[in-house]
Amino acid sequence: GHSTPIHITLIDPFKLQEDYSTDDLVSWIEKDVLPQGLGFYGHIENFDVFGRRTLYGNVIANDNWTKLRDEIAKAILKVCPDCRLSCCIGKDKQSFQLFQLFEPHATVANRDIPEGVIDDALKVMNERNLVADFPVDNITIFKSNREKWEVEIGR
């Protein structure tokens, strides 16, 4: 399927123009984002769902997440100023820049939960009463090969 390792989603999937590569993104992130020392501790409390197929850990939003997300978005736009969110390809050509909604979340399962069991899965996960702090100390870029997501960078 489409599964990825558990991760915090900072930027929704987007499409790079053909003139650009993930190597370009890695270079800019290493040059512009990593030296800023934006690491911090995140906090997670239990689980929730998006739709009927995505289970996620409820990461508590704060200014650290927003700053990290904004700096990564700036680096992406330096590399590929015309890139578009995948949800907007072939549609309204909404600029990546205009995408303002941001809800950090720890994707646990995405499309790999069978239909009709999301409510049971959420109940089981929330019985764990997850409350934890965790270090935010690396950035990973996932690239879709249309069948699965592959790790392009993990630092």
Whether pLDDT at 93 is above 80: no
The residue range of the domain holding 13 is 7-148
Q: Please check whether residue 27 lies inside any domain of the structure.
A: yes
User: What pLDDT was estimated at residue 104?
Assistant: 86
Q: Please check whether residue 19 lies inside any domain of the structure.
A: yes
Q: Please check whether residue 153 lies inside any domain of the structure.
A: no
Q: What is the pTM of this model?
A: 0.77
Q: Please check whether residue 39 lies inside any domain of the structure.
A: yes
- In the numeric block, which tokens belong to residue 84? 């578009």
Q: Please check whether residue 155 lies inside any domain of the structure.
A: no
- Please name the amino acid found at residue 91: K
Lowest mean pLDDT among 51-60, 96-105, 143-152: 96-105
Lowest mean pLDDT among 60-69, 77-86, 91-100, 117-126: 91-100
Mean pLDDT of the chain: 80
DSSP state of 53: T
Mean pLDDT of 6-23: 80
Q: Please check whether residue 95 lies inside any domain of the structure.
A: yes
pLDDT digits (tens, 9 = 90+) for 97-132: 445 567 888 988 877 788 889 999 999 999 999 999
Q: Each residue of 57-72: b (16+ CB within 10 Å) or e? A: bbbeeeeebeebbebb
Q: How many domains does the chain have?
A: 1
Sorted by sequence, the CB contacts under 8 Å of residue 101 that are 6+ apart come out as: none
- Please name the amino acid found at residue 69: R
